[in-house]
Amino acid sequence: METSIFGLRFKSNDMLQPSPADLAAFLASPRTSGAPGRHGDDLAVFVRYWELVETYDREQKQGFGRLEFGERRMLGVLSHTGFFKAAFRVAVEEYKYHHHQLLLLDFHKPEAFIRAAEVEIGKLNPKKKDDQQKISKFRDMIDQRRKDLEILTKRRRMIAGELYHIAVYVRDNIVKVQQLCESAIGRLAKIQVGGEKTGQMIEDLKEEFKAQVREHRQIGSLTPEYLESVKAEVAQLSQRLARSVLEDIYFVTGIYEGFYEHAKSSAERLGDLLGWADRVRKKDGNDEDLLFTRIEEVLAALISGFRIDAHPAGQQVSAERHEDLVLEKRRELLDHIFLELKDEHKKDAWRL
């Protein structure tokens, strides 16, 4: 069973797949609905964040990074959600392409020709030799238009099936994003309530200052005033660290909550439309045009309508004394959080 988020899409019709050049040309072309912009504009914000996540993941694998703490914290969450995957972008791009191809299918011209030709045949006299030739020619042309309609109908069924399977693929994977975010929110709540890691980091911080005190004792410069100042500084740093850790957990949780709600509402909307799409795609008719347009609107909102508060209040880098030490501990907690969440996701995958 496929448990990764936006993994391989197995139900894909190779006969319909556009070449990379054709897909790129379509995305760069103006919208046909008369709306301003290009077909690919809906993906612009997603692509920007996807590129950032790709860079973050690559640097994490290579063991180095040039990101500031705030960027690293945000991109760590975005990477873990599984939302910013190339396969998701490609699925939406191909859906838009195939939907455009569906709308280009012209049934009206051959159907109108058949109706007009049948009217003309009705005006002719089959007993007249000249009219017999005209009737024969009209019937040949009608037969050709009916063959054209059969080809169009077959192509419409193929495209409708492809659109349906792309939408199912996206819906199923967005449900996985929703489930991952829900699990992460629960795990973060336990980390916050338990406080074991925070307590451990505060103890580590105290040990660093104890080492400084021992050094002063060895060189004979230990005074009561110095000890009091160290105690006060440790207490103040412990409070700052605990406060910063809490803010970091709130920030990370907030992003997961935002993607949870976004995925949940989108999956529900897609689910409602897919029930209708499964019935419509197996019939001959034009009902699917409006239906697949609505699905495209949901996909466009899904891939562009997410919200990320990258700079929440209270998260500015401080210039206070020992800020580097506090920041180091915050990075340590961040690494701990993402390690815990990834382990939790692996356990959830094994239970599926």
**What domain range includes position 222?**
17-351
Q: For position 2, what pLDDT does the model report?
A: 55
42, part of any domain: yes
Tell me the per-residue pLDDT of 113-153, one tens digit each, with 9 for 90 and over.
999 999 999 999 888 888 899 999 999 999 999 999 999 99
Q: Mean pLDDT over residues 289-297, rounded?
A: 90
> What is the predicted pLDDT for the residue at 22?
95
Residue 250 in any domain: the answer is yes
Domain-embedded: residue 300: yes
**Predicted TM-score (pTM) of this structure:** 0.84
Tell me the C-alpha distance between 307 and 262, whole Å.
Answer: 9
The pLDDT of residue 314: 46
* Residue 348 pLDDT exceeds 70: no
Q: Domain for residue 12, yes or no? A: no
Query: Does 262 score more than 70 pLDDT?
Result: yes
Is residue 183 a contact partner of residue 348, using CB atoms and an 8 Å limit? yes
Q: Is 166 within a domain? A: yes
State the pLDDT at residue 284.
60
What percentage of the chain exceeds 90 in pLDDT? Answer: 49
Q: What is the mean pLDDT of residues 304-318?
A: 65
Read off the pLDDT of residues 191-235 as tens digits, 9 standing for 90 and up: 877 667 767 777 777 777 777 777 767 776 667 776 777 677 777
- How far apart CA 242 and CA 195 sit, in angstroms, is 9
Say how far apart CA 177 and CA 255 lie, in whole Å: 13
Percent with pLDDT over 70 in the chain = 86
Q: Please indicate, yes or no, if residue 94 is contained in any of the structural domains.
A: yes
Evaluate whether 166 touches 95 at the Cβ level (below 8 Å). Answer: yes
Is residue 4 in some structural domain? no
| Residue 9: inside a domain | no
Domains: count for the chain: 1
The predicted model gives 247-275 an average pLDDT of 93
Alpha helices in 105-219 (DSSP H): 108-123, 129-194, 196-218
What's residue 328's pLDDT?
A: 81
